[in-house]
A = this chain, B = another copy of it.
Amino acid sequence: MNDGRPVAGPALEDVRRHVVETADDLYYARGIQAVGMDELRRASGLSLKRLYTLFPSKEQIVLAVLENRHELWTAGVTAKVGAAGSPTERLLAIYDYLADWFADDSFRGCGFINAFGELGAVSPAVADLAREHKADFQRYVAELVQAAGAPAELAPQLAILAEGAQTTAAIAGNADAAAHARRAAETLIRASS
């Protein structure tokens, strides 16, 4: 019986998620290359062998972390946008989401930009995931712009504001960038009608 599966303990998917979340905390806070497998082992409470049965290599963990981050980002943005009223307010909700994010003590910039700068030239898979993440966001903004009845060229402009706010907030270390970007977006939206 039991089909050869382990007797007790959390389901495999839960363990994988636990590893991904632990790895994300470490990688995001300190950089991917700065965190070794041994530290991930210690922080996750799993043995090295278990880690390597769950993931074939560190790079696969990194990719899983980025995919997880993409889902969290998408869920967060759409939630904030969904709570907004008018189409214009829905566009501006993006910057409110950024403001919330920047206020977090652990904020250290966009994980995809960081990963791209660190590994993009060395790992095509990481570069592709970053590209897809950004392209997905651009597409999402374009949908919101269209729903607001604004001209299509507004979308890349608003997306650029969001990107710029993230790096500015990360490096300057203050969250004002979200408010500045929001005001700029308001002006651009108003001027486009």
A interface with B by C-beta (< 8 Å): 29-31, 33-34, 108-110, 112-122, 127, 130-131, 134-135, 138, 153, 156-157, 159-168, 170-173, 176-177, 180-181, 183-184, 187-188, 190-192
How many copies of this chain are found per oligomer?
2
The secondary structure that dominates the A interface is: helix
Taking the closest CB of chain B, its distance from the CB of A142, in whole angstroms, is 12
Tell me, rounded to whole Å, the shortest Cβ–Cβ distance linking A42 to chain B: 18
Known contacts: A160-B180, A163-B164, A180-B156. The answer to whether A173 contacts B131 by CB under 8 A is yes
Q: How far is the CB of A108 from chain B (nearest CB, A)?
A: 7
Distance in angstroms from A59 CB to nearest chain B CB is: 14
Q: Which residues of B contact A114 (CB under 8 A)?
A: 116-118
List 15 interface pairs A-B (beta carbons < 8 Å), by A numbering.
Answer: A30-B121, A31-B118, A31-B119, A108-B120, A109-B117, A113-B171, A115-B117, A120-B171, A131-B172, A131-B173, A134-B168, A134-B172, A135-B172, A161-B184, A184-B184
